[in-house]
Amino acid sequence: MLPKAPFGRTGHLSTRTLFGAASLWKISQADADRTLDVLLDYGVNHIDTAASYGEAEKRLGPWMEKYRDKFFLATKTEQRTYHGAMAELQRSLEYLRTDYVDLWQMHILVDPAEWETAMGPGGALEAFIEAREKGLVRFLGVTGHGTTVAAMHMRSLERFDFDSVLLPYNYTMMQNPQYAADFESLMAVCRERNVAVQAIKSIAKGEWGDKPKTRTTWYEPLEDQLDIDLAVHWVLGRDGVFLNTVGDVDLLPKVLDAAARFDHRPSDAEMQAMVSRAGITPLFKA
């Protein structure tokens, strides 16, 4: 079974390894149901999905009809206006077959112009606040990719008191001095306010480039169990960070196996050796 920790101020004890439901993007319901069995075996109790994750919300719907009380359920919207966000939330609730989600997140909010729309008059933030008041969602968060996301999350937290943030966190990315500094500043604010921090791209190896795409992830992931162990253990070695699993159901058991065996954080020497051995390159360029 996986260790648990308080998910920020929500009052929920989430497994520190969360299920990233992007892995359900294009798979059948039968394959999705087999994935549910894996989650239940490991005791995963937190699911993170999004309206933009293909068929994922539809695949999760049958699970929620049977196991809604077993999971903290999060979804996301990329809509930036009040009306667009509210309409998409209603669809998400329909697909997920539930009358509320635990966490609703503004997805990939990194573009400054989109940020102004979402946070301004008639923007998505108004929908978020209203949805929480109506009980359609319990908590609110913001997510993003890229090297500017930590700084943008700081801006979002200055504008509104979100309950969670989600962003890339892995050894290679933290070798970028500016990103590392921005990440640490964000972590300090999140600790002070008890905001939950979720890490994505933990086992990213780099871009696919000219290689044939053999996994359902948009980036090339690590494959070797030893490398996955090191990458996962490095993330879990940071207090206050939750790890979102990889967007590939066939790699999911390797990530969960690594998480279940977490004991200590690997040293810098071990991580540098892995980067060299596996040929890891930065996924996001400055």
Q: How many CB atoms lie within 10 A of CB 210?
A: 5
Q: How far apart are CA 119 and CA 283, in angstroms?
A: 28
Would you say residue 68 lies in a domain?
Answer: yes
CA angle, 253 as apex, 32 and 70 as ends, to 5°? 60
Would you say residue 285 lies in a domain?
Answer: no
Domain with 229 in it? 4-278
Position 286 pLDDT exceeds 90 = no
> Which residues lie below 8 Å from residue 169, measured CB to CB, with a gap of 6+?
183, 199, 200, 201, 202, 235, 238, 241
Phi-psi category of residue 30: left, alpha or beta, with phi > 0 → left and psi -120 to 50 → alpha:
alpha
Would you say residue 57 lies in a domain?
Answer: yes
Position 134 pLDDT exceeds 80 = yes
Would you say residue 24 lies in a domain?
Answer: yes
Position 45 pLDDT exceeds 90 = yes
The pLDDT of 272-280, averaged and rounded, is 97
pLDDT band at 108 (very low <50, low <70, confident <90, very high): very high
Over the stretch 154-203, which tens digit does the pLDDT of each residue have? 999 999 999 999 999 999 999 999 999 999 999 999 999 999 999 999 99
Query: What integer pLDDT is reported at residue 1 of this predicted model?
Result: 80
For the chain, list the strands marked E by DSSP: 4-6, 13-15, 17-20, 46-48, 72-77, 101-106, 137-143, 164-168, 196-200, 204-206, 220-221, 241-244
Tally of structural domains, the chain: 1
Would you say residue 286 lies in a domain?
Answer: no
Would you say residue 283 lies in a domain?
Answer: no
Over the stretch 1-37, which tens digit does the pLDDT of each residue have? 899 999 999 999 999 999 999 999 999 999 999 999 9
From first CA to last CA, the distance across the chain in angstroms is 38
Would you say residue 50 lies in a domain?
Answer: yes
Query: What integer pLDDT is reported at residue 231 of this predicted model?
Result: 98
What is the domain-level CATH number for residue 31? 3.20.20.100
Would you say residue 156 lies in a domain?
Answer: yes
pLDDT band at 285 (very low <50, low <70, confident <90, very high): confident
> What is the reported pTM?
0.97
